[in-house]
Amino acid sequence: MRKEKENRKQTNETEKSFNELKEITQALQEQKERTLTPTLKTAHKTEPKPPSNITDAKKSVLEPIGS
């Protein structure tokens, strides 16, 4: 009887610890997602856009300076 009570207590403590760990893990994952999202959005906004007319861009680069 005493052993059964100790086992139940141990099981309850283990479940409590597991639930706490699960909550912490979930909170960390949510925090990670919140911190990564603005970074990805910022990186996307700052990407250089290619020139609208690529042939004009190539010509201007390849033309000699004195022309």
Taking only the tens of pLDDT, the chain with its 67 residues reads 888 989 999 999 999 999 999 999 999 999 988 887 665 555 555 566 665 665 555 555 555 666 5
Q: For residue 44, what pLDDT is reported?
A: 55
Q: In the chain, where are the structural domains located? A: 2-47
Residue environment code for 36-63, b if the CB has 16+ CB neighbours within 10 A, otherwise e? eeeeeeeeeeeeeeeeeeeeeeeeeeee
Q: For residue 54, what pLDDT is reported?
A: 59
pTM: 0.47
Q: For residue 33, what pLDDT is reported?
A: 85
Owner of token pair 């403590």:
13
51: which residues sit within 8 A by CB, 6+ positions away?
A: 57
